[in-house]
A and B are shown apart, each in its own frame.
Chain A
Amino acid sequence: MPAVKPMKLTEVLEQRGASLSYQAGGEAPAEVVDREIKREPTPRAKALRDVYFDTLSSLDCQLSYWYDRAVNEHAGDIPVMQRAHGMKSVLQHLDTPIWPGELLVGAKAGYYRGSAPLPWLTESFFMDKDSDLYKEAQKTGGDAAAEVSHFGAGGGNVTKSFGNVVSVGGKYGIRKERVGALHHLAYSWAGKSVEDVSRVYEKMVPEYSTKEKVMKAVICQFDSGYTIPQGREVMNYYLPLEHGFDKLIEMCAERAGEVAGDPRGDGIAGMDSLYYYMSSKLLVEGLSAWFDNYGKEADRLAATTEDPERKAEFLSISERMHRLAHEKPKTFKDALQMIYLLHLAELNEDAMSGLSPGRVGQVLYPYFEQDMEAGRTTEEEVEEWLELYRVKMTCIDAFACTGVVGGVLSGNTFNNLCLGGQNREGRSAANRLEMLILEAGIKCQTTQPTLSVLYDDSLPEEFLMKAMECEKTGTGYPAFMNNRVAQEFLLRQYSHEGLDITDARAWSVGGCLETSPGIWQELHLNDRSYWIPGGAAQPTSVGVHFLNNPKILELVLNNGFDHRTGLQIVEPHNLPLDSYEMIWEQYKKYYEEIVAVLVKANNIQHDVWRKFTPSVVNSLLKPDCFDRGKNIANKGYRFNATFNIECCGTCNLVNSLVALKKLVFEDKKYTLDEMRDAMLSNFGYKTSKEVGSESLIDQEKRDDDDRRYDVIHSDCLRAPKYGNDDPYADQILYTYEDWFCHIGDAFQSLYAEPFYVCQMSVSTHGPMGAVTGATADGRLSGTTFADASMSAYPGTDKNGQYALFESATGWDHAMSQNSQMNLKIHPTAVHGIEGSKKLLDLTRSYMRKGGFHIQYNIVDSRVLKDAQKKPENYRTLLVRVAGFTQYWCEIGKPIQDEVIARTEYESV
């Protein structure tokens, strides 16, 4: 007897005269359509990118070893000096490999795509699983999100051990013969790491038990203080570009002498200036040695290379690296080389994501301009170097726990390069070098650096059309960020720290789409001076990360109880919930209660970090540390009000509130108990785990289902939805935003600065959906939330992009650090020059209406479906997820399902 085929959601809906269509604005052509713009990188860049495609994500303990050894040797010294000795030793001793064909050199670790454990920050997740320490750490819920976080099985991810390679954290490979050292390092820092020390003090927060339960239930995704305490910020390369290392060492020594023993009117931090300059000096000595070591490696390879062309290249690398070890850069190549290694130096200081190089095309323009004028280079050569830079940036990996790297980052590191915006005087800042950066992004398609255009109406049409051309490669970059909205946000958040409109023009994006303040600094090159922008703020996305918005509504509806974990997360409210207003009021109370405890816990974590392992690299580079003689711990950075509260699942929250209001309290079609019963029963469907898909459209009925929930479920799905220019639904969003955007006002970071809110999902809509039961909007248990904060839930935006824009822009986006809008468009809808113009008009329209961010996947969804079935044929396929571009095969299935399910617009 043949098995009965389970009934799919789509079939159930069809029977009820409803449908879930993931196409809007027409139908896709019968034939699968490829991406319109395709070009090839230079042979050199292609060869190096091909190496990347076949490279495994690899762990190296060399960095960890030398840091550990130096810190132990200086155990009696002041913590910041220990830190600096550690970083100097790392830079002095790291292997400095140069791979065949490279001109731009440098690596985080001894592998092409290497990273290292940093046990002084966190060590529990790479302890051996049988250890008591590992088990103890698991009890805190600190990495509970790991259970529902996924890596793609393809690409460079080492998801399983093989041969002499051991898989760590589901993504990284380590040589078997180095596992002993890995565990030795983990044990030697147990009880001393930022993670462990902060946990001791976190427990002093009276509501700590709530925090543990919140983490276990994945209502909050992760602790930021010991996982990725830096990043989501913009680099500032000014000091080394302006002075060079020898001069900086001299300046540090001079300033140390000036401040030694003199508090200079500051009885708390004044005396620390001496240690600041001494630690900075150690760091720069290490940087100088690191550059020099690359020169030595080039010498060694030149001596053993017979090919005259390659030998000459090694000698050229050698000359550059030996010189840059002491002097400031003279040429574009020098400057690009210098900022790349500085970038890696900072990345080797902490586990990090979202360290953005900033407005590179404007920082390097002086060198480009003078090289071109002098005939020292050509645009073709510059473009090739920019392609090589793309490959090198793509090789950057970060080693952190699975809940962060898998559940949040999807293995990405978010090194965002920004283009356009305004210059210091308020005119367009776009330049010729930025056109070449776009062209390099078109030809050498890679994940890093991702590109973002700081959209301003003053940007030239030629530049914007070039950006549209780049967009149509289907890589998902550049994203578009609203220059005006960002500046309004910055003036609101940082005026009390002295930020004015001129500073606001120097902003850039740190990470996916975190608005980050910068300043202008005067760079001198030969007989000319230039004002270049650079980051001037602490990490702009640290604090409460991420809050599961629909899950908190679930707590409200279930009296503070989480059915998945069986935990009473917060005190029962015991309210009858007999009005919509009562639900909303209780939602806010629970939310604020959860934020309050997480803020305190995170403040403690970051405080422990700043006491033991404060940044020394960025504390040298970021204004105004050097001038003030203060590092990050003493608020040496120009802007310090950078802590935030991030959320996920806004669209599903809003749609659920809409459905409850409409079906229970206005139409009175169902009681709240009936709704609750239907949701707890997952509307009669299997769990997403049983089905093996986190996409709504794939869900199937339980075999024993008696169809009692079919009507209520289709009513939930039919209830008004955000994204259709329907005031009924949109007003709920605006009420939410007007409350949420001010939630940070009531809290202080450890720097006694106000919080702000951040609204992007990154990849958290996968794991956070996985732990959340069915919701009143008809979404089924365990399925992925809508991506981004302003995107509609897949298949629910029926009235076209402009209706979606109306819904999205009815609130002031400048109240938030960001908002996020992802759109998927079929390639035929924007084909040719006319299509590019339409895409630009669409973008411009959203920006002019006050939307902060928009990004596109220009792809035929059938390509993605095929890639999911046959990943081996799609190693190079890139897609835009949420603020970042990633290789398809390295993304976990839940997010793949979600990208496939996004509404595909067939026309613009």
Chain B
Amino acid sequence: MCTNCNHSDCANFIPIDVAKGICHANGDIVVQTDSPTCERFAPGMKCKFCSHLSEPDEKGMAICSGFAVESWAFAELGAKNCENFAAHA
């Protein structure tokens, strides 16, 4: 369970659209993205869970220092296939 998260932050979530997705941990049921998460919540691979991302501002904008050249990034960016993703300890 994560109180500040929504379903799209969960590793078990497969997004369908901007409002809903599939929960793979609970029998591939459809869940609304903004509905409360459950006890099986596991942080997914988004920039906001990466140690290379600086503290985001109120719009979710931040700095990624995970590559040779720093760049802007945003907390909600999916990072499943980012070679330098490093989950927070």
Contacts and interface: CB of A to CB of B under 8 A. Distances in A.
Contact of A94 (B14, B25, B59, B81): B81
A97 B14 contact: yes
A155 to B, nearest CB: 12
A94 B78 CA distance: 8
Interface in A85-122: 92-100, 110-114
Interface string A168-183: 0000011101111100
A173 B72 CA distance: 23
Nearest to B56: A180
B24 A62 contact: no
A180 B12 CA distance: 26
A29 interface: no
B34 A293 contact: no
Given A61-B77, A94-B81, A178-B76, A55 B24 contact: no
Contacts of B72: 184
Interface in A445-490: none
Interface string A36-69: 0000000000000001001111110110010001
B81 A65 contact: no
- Pick from B17, B22, B28, B82 the residue with the most CB of A within 10 Å: B17
A372 B17 CA distance: 38
Contacts of B69: 73
A404 interface: no
A574 interface: no
A72 interface: yes
Contacts of B73: 65
Contacts of A181: 60-61, 74, 76-77
Contacts of A93: 79, 81-82
Nearest to A51: B16
Interface in B1-55: 8, 12, 14-19, 22, 24-25, 28, 33-34
B17 A173 contact: yes
Bin chain A's interface residue count. Answer: 35 or more
Nearest to A292: B81
A54 B22 CA distance: 13
Interface in A138-192: 156, 158, 163-165, 173-175, 177-181, 184
A131 interface: no
A304 B72 CA distance: 33
B24 A180 contact: no
A301 interface: yes
Nearest to A172: B18
Interface in B56-89: 59-61, 67, 69, 71-83
Contacts of A55: 16-17
A48 B35 CA distance: 23
A59 B28 CA distance: 23
Given A55-B16, A97-B15, A100-B28, A178 B81 contact: no
Contacts of B60: 177-178, 180-181
Interface in A325-377: none
B38 to A, nearest CB: 16
Contact of B71 (A72, A156, A178): A72
Contacts of B12: 304
B81 A96 contact: yes
Given A69-B71, A100-B14, A173-B18, 11 more contacts: A56-B17, A97-B14, A99-B16, A111-B15, A111-B17, A113-B17, A158-B18, A163-B34, A164-B34, A165-B18, A181-B74
Interface of B: 8, 12, 14-19, 22, 24-25, 28, 33-34, 59-61, 67, 69, 71-83
14 contacts: A56-B19, A73-B67, A93-B79, A96-B80, A98-B14, A112-B15, A112-B17, A158-B18, A164-B33, A164-B34, A175-B18, A181-B77, A304-B12, A305-B24
Interface of A: 51, 54-59, 61-62, 65, 69, 72-73, 92-100, 110-114, 156, 158, 163-165, 173-175, 177-181, 184, 293, 296-297, 301, 304-305
Give 9 closest A-B pairs by Cβ, nearest first.
A180-B59, A56-B17, A181-B74, A173-B18, A58-B17, A100-B28, A58-B18, A95-B78, A112-B16
